[in-house]
Amino acid sequence: MKYSSNDNGSMSPRFGFFMAILYAFLLPTSTLGQSCIDDIEDIYKKEALVTDTSIPRLYIVCPRSIYEIGNLDFDGNLVQPKVGGSVMPPLPLRPNLTIRCGDNGSRDNTCWLRGGDLQMDGTKVRGIQDDTVENVKIEGFVFLGAREHSLLANKPGDITFRDCEFREFTTSTVPIMLDYYDSFNPSKELLVSFDECDFRDNRYFGMGSQSALIYGNNAQNRIKIEATSFENNDMVWNNTRPDTHSFIVESLGPVELLKSCFKDNLVGSSDVAVFGSTLENELNFVSNSSGVLCPFASVFETMDQFASFKPTCMEATSRGCARYPTESPTTSPTSSPTISPEPSPAPTENPTISSRPTVSKMPSGQPSEAPSMNPTDKQATKSPTAAPIDFDFSFESAAVAHRANAMLLLFSSASMYYFFL
């Protein structure tokens, strides 16, 4: 069989077209899809190159994975286990930073951050020297069972959680700790917002814990909660003073509660307590979740009210859970939202933790305002123990396989075509 050619010895247009197609498949092409982060340490490495934090940045964390968060030493350095496995650092919070689970930032993508002393760092403890946490967004994560805090933030700015879940915090000082204070700039504030989130199956630990799941430690900390559900949280267990120190949300700063639901929680005082500040209460729903102090919210407007511990009580104004509009507005919800399933796969490799620079000292371990109770010391239930399962998939390997199959098909077709010439 001969290749056809022109009289001047050059290849025919038909053969040139055939070779052009081959080159198109043989030459390297770009990787299909956008890569995702499967090691939180990679976010630190990339952020170390960012000097202008006014530019928005987006990090997409790989879905269907459990990310084991490690403990910190007194200098804020990550402590790796001595035998087997490895752990990751907390999510770093910097201005104009968005961290998202999967492409769409949904809990259905199942990104779990589990354990550790601290899961999200809004401080300078680990060397993040930014003065603010402005325009930070966390989307689509499930946070489980940190030993101290899921979030600790003590800088001004705004942090927004969208479609996140906080659950099984049973040994925590307080899951969400807002501790910003600056007497020289009283007009500044830290705003933390929860939009379509869930707090479930959490329990008061005792031993110096704060008496709420979300705690604003100063008037410069603002909390906004919208379309969020609190369910099956026990703030009475191991609590020696549940009648005065048992809430789900407690703040010395302003609180906005909109279209949120409190169902089947054990609280001794009330679901919400605001001291010396304002509470915006709109279309919230309560079912089997009332304390002895107030049926829903306690607002201490004056020092006399605090001294006598007789607050102004506010009731929930909705007869149904506005979080789920498909339910009847005149009856209580009959079913709970589906709990995020445990992801079956895990990151394919153990992360490599780089050495950390010298940083400021770790806080002493307790919030600046501790509760005045002496809880008994009982053993709390442990965090989930299910080990992650290996998961290995590469967009690049899929693209290479696609090109290889296409190339074989092309060679085969070309051979048959010229065979019949």
Tokens 């899921």: give the residue.
150
If you ran DSSP here, which 8-state letter would residue 402 be given?
A: H
User: In the predicted model, what is the mean pLDDT of residues 341-363?
Assistant: 43
pLDDT digits (tens, 9 = 90+) for 317-335: 999 998 876 544 444 444 4
Domain boundaries, the chain: 40-390, 393-421
Q: What is the mean pLDDT of residues 78-87?
A: 89
- pLDDT above 80 (res 314): yes
In tens, the pLDDT along 159-171 reads 999 999 999 999 9
- Average pLDDT of the chain is 79
pLDDT per residue as tens digits for the range 291-312: 999 999 999 999 999 999 999 9
Write out pLDDT tens, residues 256-273. 999 999 999 999 999 999
Residue 83: what pLDDT?
83
Q: In terms of pLDDT, which residue wins out, 352 or 151?
A: 151
Residue 168: CB atoms within 10 Å: 21
pLDDT of residue 34: 53
Q: What's the mean pLDDT in 122-147?
A: 96
Percent of the chain with pLDDT strictly greater than 70: 69
Q: Which residues pair with 221 in a beta bridge?
A: 190
Give the least confident one: 26-30, 177-181, 257-261, 339-343.
Answer: 26-30
Question: Which residues lie below 8 Å from residue 242, measured CB to CB, with a gap of 6+?
Answer: 235, 236, 267, 268, 269
What digits encode the pLDDT tens for the residues 271-294?
999 999 999 999 999 999 999 999
Name 312's Cβ contacts closer than 8 Å, sequence gap at least 6: 298, 299, 300, 301, 305
Contacts of 187 (CB under 8 A, 6+ apart): none
